[in-house]
Structure formats: structure tokens, C-alpha cells
Chain A
Amino acid sequence: MIPAAFEYHAPASLDDATALLARLGEDAKILSGGQSLIPLMKLRLSSPPHVVDINGIPGLSYIREAGGVLAIGALTRESELEESEIIRARYPLLNDTCKVIADPLVRNLATIGGNLAHADPANDHPATMLALGAEIVARGPGGQRTIPIASFFTGPFETALKPGELLVEIRIPAPAPRSGGAYFKLERKVGDFATAAVAVQLTLRADGACERVGIGLTNVGLTPIKATQAEASLGGRRLDDATISEAARLAAGASEPSADLRGSVAYKRDLVRVLTARALRKAAERAQGHSAQGHSTEGRR
């Protein structure tokens, strides 16, 4: 399958890239890892007249924890997240997530920035970032701005990024003591999109009650979904069979799946319920194991 012809641009700096993107507007698509864009172009579901390859821009690939924030450069490959010691040690939700995206070969090219900016509701990082309460750093010709993840996904394949803006960094709050997370995804086979998946990130108080809970849902709606009622139901409460099943029921209620080859509406909704309960239990287990861990991993990759 041969994509339609396009003009190829490979800017060598962020300034060049944003100037180019501002000039080309809707006619340009950004090429990051290319693992979603190129298949779409080959199927001619997307035929952009201009492709702006950002892979030659230095300084966009990093994983750094400093000042209470984990900062990840947009061009960081999924395989680099998977191999990161900081993420393995301190961000189990991210570690779970990057291991189940597509397959290992795709993960050698696919980038975290692309996974978010593409805004496919079936992509995995969006739900993860909703659960983590991340922020998106966007850079445009006029400078830089920060977008809270909860207002980033505006529709299917649509984000708050304006034409001319480039996603450059993802910022994740460093976990407080007694924090844990987990990502549970059901996929029919490696490389398939999720039938449904649930991301949970939580922080427990010393008495075991929930201080903060984030729950994100993958591929059960037109956009990734933040299950806010389920989150609120756990505020200040201990996780037990009753509170977990209530939160899981509310998360299932927040999902808006459509029927397809992966399952019926009822099946997917119930799957959200089951996966939410499992992810809550796993996240809590990790949060309790986490409490002894206070060492700094600053600067380590």
C-alpha cells in the first residue's frame, strides 16, 4: 500500500518546526514515531500534503524526575519508557502501560507524545495520564503553555493543541508516599487495541483511607474517559469489598462503549467493572508496598 504523495520536512529545531507548522496549518501532519500516522496514510485514511518529521529535533527525548515532577520528552520511545529504571521503580502504572502498547517492534519507534497527540480513544497512554493527573506542555510560535490532561482530549482524534502547536513534554506529579498504580488491559491478542482497559493511580493516607484516586478508561467511548464519580466515591474511604465494587460499578456506568468485533456494549461495560476492581486492588497493594520507599532517583534513567 502506497501513501499519497506529500512534501517532506525535517526541521532541525523546535522554532523551525513551530514556524513551519504555523505556516502549513491543517495541511501538515507531525511525524513522530509514525506507528499510527503511517498506517493511516497507507490506507489513505489520511493524506496530508505536508509531513513534518520532528525526529531530527534534538532534546525531545528524556525521562527526568526533578522538583516533584516526572518530565518525559515527547519523542521518548515506548521501549525507552519500558527500560527506564525510574519508571520501573516509581511509576508502576506507566510501567504496566508501556509494556502492553502494540508489540515490542512497534514500541521501538512509537513515542509517548504521539500516543497522546494522536488522541485515539483506543490508545493506552491517554487513560493512564488521566489517572495520573498529568499535564501536557505545548509549544507554539507564540511560546509555551501547559494544558491539564483533563481538558486535553476534546473529541475522537482531537485535542486542545492548536494548529502550529507541538506537544513537547508530559509532566506527571511525582508519587507521594503510599502511592500506587496499575493498568489492566484486555486485548484479544498482542498488538490489538484494548477491548477495554482501566488505569488507576491512588494515594493512601496513613490510616489506609484514600487521599487521591485517579481512574482512566481506554477504548470505551469517543474519547478517553476520566471516571470522576468513581474517583469521588472513594475519597476519604478505605478500600474494601464494598467501596471497590461501588467504584467499579460507577466506572462501568461512566463508560460509553460501542459494540464491535471485540464485544457487545453490555460485555464491555461489565469488563470495565471487573478491570476497575482489579486495578484498584493492585494499585492499593502497590501503594502499601511503596510506603517504605522514599529514596530519590533524581537524574537516574
Chain B
Amino acid sequence: MRVQLSINGEKHEADVEPRLLLVHLIRDVLRLTGTHIGCDTTHCGACTVLLEGRPVKSCTMFAVQANGKSLMTVEGLEQNGKLHPLQEGFMAEHGLQCGYCTPGMLMAGYAFLGTHPTPSEDEIRVAISGNLCRCTGYVNIVKAVQHAATTLREGAAR
């Protein structure tokens, strides 16, 4: 089946089998390997991408379902060689250890900050509750999201 979709503002087209999972289209066909596959059982969220602005698990969706849709992956965060404030936050606060969950954490965090400019710690923890970090580095991940929220607020106020 022919699938057309937009990823990070760029149009893509591919011929796919209906059973091809969205994450495999993204990684194996389109070679955007920033999105990870972790548990492959809808638990860990390493494969999180934004579908029409909402974070979803791309291992639990068929590529054909994304036909005509607009997606964003972790590669879409950096703009003109400049890291997104959330990525800066993960660096500044040591929000990653092994880094495997990071693409998913970033996408869930990015979507969350879009609707919650002044989040509480509890709200952040709920927002990333579908993303597992097996280094258990949650404390610093929460700090990284808070760091980004502050940067984004200061940027908006300027």
C-alpha cells in the first residue's frame, strides 16, 4: 500500500505492507533512527512520536494508519543546528544515563510543555508515566523538563 505522510515538516512516501508498524517505517524504511524500539509491547515509550501533535507509541500503530498524517520525531526538535531547550535541559540536568529512553522522554516532554508552560513536579511525573527509564533516572528527567519549562517561559517573556 502507498503511504504518504509528513515527518518533521518533510513529505515522505513509501510502499508498505499493511502489517508494517509505524516505528519500522520510521526507522527501517525512512532511516530516521532517533526513534527507538524498546519493549515492543506498548509499555516503555522509547518509540514515542507525535501524531498530529499528540505523543503516541509508534510500535502500537500500523504505518498505513499514518497515511495523510503529520508526525514529529526526535530529529525534529533541533532547529538550524540549535538544540531545543528541552534537549539543553537534558544536558544541563544530566537527564540521561544510557540514553535509550531519551527520544521518547523528549517527545512526551515536548508535547507536555506545549500545553503546560508552568508544570508542577506531579504533572511532569504523570506526563512521562508512559515512558520507562530503566536506569531509573527519573529525578533528573523531571529536573530537565523543569529546566526547559523555565527557559521556554523566559524566552516567551523576552
| Contact across chains for A38 and B62 when beta carbons are under 8 A apart | yes
State A191–B60 Cα separation when bound (angstroms): 14
CA–CA, A1 to B43, complex, Å?
A: 14
Q: 10 other contacts beyond A38-B21, A38-B42, with CB at 8 A cut-off? A: A4-B19, A5-B17, A34-B61, A34-B62, A39-B42, A53-B65, A105-B48, A108-B51, A109-B51, A191-B129
Distance in angstroms from A251 CB to nearest chain B CB is: 29
Give Cα A3 to B127, complex, Å.
29
Considering the complex of A and B, which 4 residue pairs feature the smallest CB-CB distances, nearest first?
Answer: A103-B130, A8-B18, A105-B130, A190-B129
Say yes or no: B19 contacts A34, CB within 8 Å.
no
Contact of A190 among B60, B62, B130 (CB under 8 A): B130
Beta-carbon contact of B19 and A5 below 8 Å: yes
List of A residues within 8 angstroms of B18 by Cβ: 5-8, 51
Q: In the bound complex, do residue B57 and residue A105 qualify as a contact, i.e. CB atoms below 8 Å apart?
A: yes
User: A8-B18, A39-B42, A105-B48 in contact; A34/B54 too (CB < 8 A)?
Assistant: no
B20-62 interface with A by 8 A CB criterion = 21, 40-43, 45, 48, 51, 54-57, 60-62
Looking at the assembled complex, report how far the CB atom of A110 sits from the nearest CB atom of chain B, in whole angstroms: 10
Interface pairs (21), CB distance under 8 Å: A1-B41, A2-B21, A3-B19, A5-B17, A5-B19, A8-B1, A8-B64, A31-B62, A34-B60, A34-B62, A34-B65, A38-B21, A79-B54, A103-B129, A104-B126, A105-B56, A106-B60, A108-B54, A109-B60, A190-B129, A191-B43
Chain B residue total in the interface (Cβ 8 A): 27
A35 is an interface residue with CB less than 8 A from chain B: yes
Taken together as a complex, chains A and B put the C-alpha atoms of A103 and B131 apart, in Å, by 9
Cβ-closest chain A residue relative to B104: A105
The tally of CB-CB contacts under 8 A between chains A and B is: 80
A284 to chain B, nearest CB (A): 27
Answer whether residue B108 sits at the interface, using C-beta atoms and an 8 A cutoff. yes
Q: Does A162 contact B (CB under 8 A)?
A: no
Q: Is A168 an interface residue (CB 8 A)?
A: no
- In the complex, A42 has a CB within 8 A of chain B: yes
Q: CB of A233 within 8 A of chain B?
A: no
* A contact face: mostly helix, strand, loop, or mixed: loop
B48 partner residues in chain A, CB cutoff 8 A: 105
Contact B130 A38, beta carbon cutoff 8 Å:
no
Q: How far is the CB of A115 from chain B (nearest CB, A)?
A: 14
**Is the pair A35, B19 in contact by a Cβ cutoff of 8 Å?**
no
1/0 contact trace for A36-56 toward B, CB 8 Å? 001101110000000101010
Residues on B lying within 8 angstroms of A by beta carbon are 1, 17-19, 21, 40-43, 45, 48, 51, 54-57, 60-62, 64-65, 108, 126-127, 129-131
- Give Cα A38 to B64, complex, Å: 13
Which A residues are within 8 Å of any B CB, using their own CB?
1-8, 10, 31, 34-35, 38-39, 41-43, 51, 53, 55, 79, 102-106, 108-109, 190-191
In the docked arrangement, what's the CA distance between A6 and B19, Å? 7
Q: How far is the CB of B135 from chain A (nearest CB, A)?
A: 17
Tell me which residues across on chain B come within 8 A of A105, comparing CB atoms.
45, 48, 55-57, 108, 130-131
The residue of chain B having its C-beta at the shortest distance from the C-beta of A191 within the complex is B43
- B56 and A38 contact, CB distance less than 8 A: no
